[in-house]
Amino acid sequence: MKLTILAPGHFHAALVQKKMYADIEPDVHVYAPAGTDLDDYVRTVESYNARKENPTAWQLKVHPGADFLERLVADKNGDVVVISGNNQRKTEYLSRTVAARVHTLADKPMAIDASGFEALGRAFAVAREQGVLLYDIMTERHEITTMLQKEFSTIAPVFGELRNGTTELPAVTKESVHHFSKLVSGMPIRRPAWFFDTAQQGEGLVDITTHLVDLVQWECFPERILDYRNDIEIIRARRWPTQISAAQFAKVTQLESFPAFLEKDVQSDGMLHVYANGEIDYTIKGVQRLTRIDTAGEGQQLSIMDESLYDYPWVYAVEVGSWVLSDEEAARLRDYLLRGGFLVVDDFHGTMEWAGFVASMGRVFPDRAIVEIPIEDAVFHLAYDLPEQIQIPGIQSLYSGLTYERDGYTPHWRGIYDDEGRLMVVINFNMDLGDAWEHADVPEYALQYTTRAYKYAINYILYAMTH
C-alpha cells in the first residue's frame, strides 16, 4: 500500500510516520505549498529516520507548489492520503480525494463551520458511492490513559452504572486542558501562526472537543451507530477566549509579532484573544453529557499557598530534595493533607536529596514517621496488582545505561499515614515516574518502565479518590 501526505501543517501528519508498517511502502509522496509547515513536517520525519534506536526508513518524494491539490489528484501516487493541517480548506481537500477514489485518513476537525459540515455530509456520501474509506485519525483513542479509562468504565465497582443524569448533574463529564505549548517526541513543537486563527484552525468547540465527544460515545456506546439527527440533543453551549501575550505567542511560534490576519483578534491591551475554550451540555439517547475544553498556554502549576490547592484532591511535586518550606507553607501543606489531600512526590535521588526532603517534610509532620509502604498496602492493589517493584529511571540515566542517579541505587516507596491509617503522602524515592509519563512516545524509553509508571499513577489516583 502506498501513502500520500497532503498539506501537512499539524504534527499529527508526521506522527503517522513515527514507525514503519509492514503493509506500507517506504516511498511517500508529499503534496503541499512551500513554507514552514512543509519544512517542519520534513524535518520531523527525517528525525525519525536518523534516530539511533528503531529508525524509520521513509523516502519522501516532495511536490511543493501552489497547485499541490490538483497535482495530487492527477498523479494518483497513493492508495491512502493523510490530511492533517490547516483546517480552512480541509473539507475541500477530503471531498476532492474521495471523489478521486483515494482512501482518506483525515485529522479532526473535518469541518469547522456549518457550510463545511454540510459539505462533509456530501463527502461521506461520495465516499460510499466510490467504495473508499473516509476516516478520522482520532489519536486520543490510541493514547494509553484513555485506553485505560475505557477499560475502567467497564468495571462496575470503579465506574458504576450509566445513568441518565440531569443538567445539574450529568451522567458523564469530560474535561480536557489543551496546551498551546507542548512537547512531541521529546521536543517542543513550533505552532504555526494560523493555529491561533479560528477562521483557519476552528474554535475549540469544533477542534479539541471532537476528541471528548468521540470518547464519550466510544466508552458509553461501544460498537453502536448513532444518528446525530435523532439521538443527539444540544441543551446549551458557551465559549470563551484564551488570552495570549505577544511574548507567549513568540515563544510557541518563533515569530517576532502577530501576523496581519490575527490583528482582528488582538485587543487594545495587546493580548490576542483565541476562542479555544468551550462547553457543550447535550444528551445522547437521553443520557446527559457535559463536555468542556479549557486551554492553557503553559502547564498549570500551583504554589502551596495558592487558595485553589484545596480544589485538587491529588497533587504531584518533583525534585523535592531541594525543598525549603517556610513555616507558613509547612502549616498549609499539613492542613491540606489532614483534610484528605493526597501528595505524590517524585524525581529525587541519593543521600543528599533525601536529607533535604526529610528536613522540610519534618516541618510539615514533626510527629509522623516516614515509613516504607508495605507491599500489601491497597495503593499497590487497586486497578493494578503490583506485587513486585521496579525502579523507574529518568531518561538521561537510561541514555547512560543506568537505572539510578547519584548514589540512589535502590528504589523506595515510602509514605506518611494519618491517624486512621490513610496514606497521605507517597514518596517515590530514587525514581522518576514523571519522565516515564512524559517520554512514553520516545522509542529509546523502554516500554516496561512507561507501562509500570502509568500503573502506579492510576493506582495512586484511585487511592486518592477512594480513601
Q: What is the pLDDT of residue 398?
A: 84
Cα–Cα distance for residue pair 113/198, rounded to 1 Å: 10
- In this prediction, residues 418-425 reach a mean pLDDT of 96
- In this prediction, residues 424-441 reach a mean pLDDT of 93
**SS3 of the chain: helix, strand, coil, percent, to 5:** 40, 25, 40
- In this prediction, residues 204-233 reach a mean pLDDT of 87
Span 165-204, pLDDT tens digits:
888 888 888 888 888 887 666 667 889 999 999 999 999 8
Q: Which residue would you say has higher pLDDT here, 157 or 282?
A: 282
Q: What is the pLDDT of residue 185?
A: 60
pLDDT bin (cut points 50, 70, 90) of residue 149 is confident
Query: Phi and psi dihedrals of 224, rounded to 5?
Result: -115, 135
Q: What is the pLDDT of residue 288?
A: 61
The answer, yes or no, to whether residue 297 has pLDDT greater than 60, is no
Cα–Cα distance for residue pair 430/61, rounded to 1 Å: 47
Residue type, 366: P
Q: What is the pLDDT of residue 300?
A: 63
DSSP sequence for 352-373: HHHHHHHHHHHHH-TTS--EEP
Considering only CA atoms, give the Rg of the chain. 25
Sign for the pseudo-dihedral over CA of 149, 154, 160, 164: positive
The pairing of strands 412-417 and 423-429 is antiparallel
Q: What is the pLDDT of residue 193?
A: 94
Q: Across the chain, how many H-helices and E-strands are there?
A: 16, 17
pLDDT bin (cut points 50, 70, 90) of residue 129 is very high
- Closest by Cα among 188, 458, 461, 428 to 319: 428
Highest averaged pLDDT of the listed ranges 180-189, 303-312, 398-407, 410-419: 410-419
pLDDT bin (cut points 50, 70, 90) of residue 341 is very high
Q: What is the pLDDT of residue 39?
A: 94
Query: Phi and psi dihedrals of 105, rounded to 5?
Result: -110, 105
Q: State how far Cα 32 lies from the chain centre.
A: 27
Q: What is the pLDDT of residue 27?
A: 97
Span 260-280, pLDDT tens digits:
999 999 999 999 999 999 999
Whole-model pTM: value is 0.63
Q: What is the pLDDT of residue 137?
A: 75
Domains of the chain: residue spans and CATH: 3-137 (3.40.50.720), 141-296 (no CATH), 307-466 (3.40.50.12140)
pLDDT bin (cut points 50, 70, 90) of residue 74 is very high
Cα–Cα distance for residue pair 187/22, rounded to 1 Å: 27
Percent of the chain at pLDDT exceeding 90:
64
Q: What is the pLDDT of residue 187?
A: 67
- Closest by Cα among 81, 85, 58 to 71: 81
The answer, yes or no, to whether residue 460 has pLDDT greater than 70, is yes
- Closest by Cα among 461, 430, 436, 466 to 451: 436
Residue 25 grid cell = 511502502
- In this prediction, residues 403-410 reach a mean pLDDT of 92
The answer, yes or no, to whether residue 207 has pLDDT greater than 90, is no
The answer, yes or no, to whether residue 222 has pLDDT greater than 90, is no
Highest averaged pLDDT of the listed ranges 70-79, 279-288, 399-408: 70-79
Residue 66 grid cell = 501552489
Q: What is the pLDDT of residue 293?
A: 53
The answer, yes or no, to whether residue 292 has pLDDT greater than 60, is no
Average pLDDT across the chain, whole number = 90
The 10 Å CB-count burial string (b at 16+, else e) for 280-317 is: bbbbbeebbbbbbbbbebeeeeeebeeeebeeeeebbb
Cα–Cα distance for residue pair 255/191, rounded to 1 Å: 10
- Closest by Cα among 285, 18, 287 to 167: 287
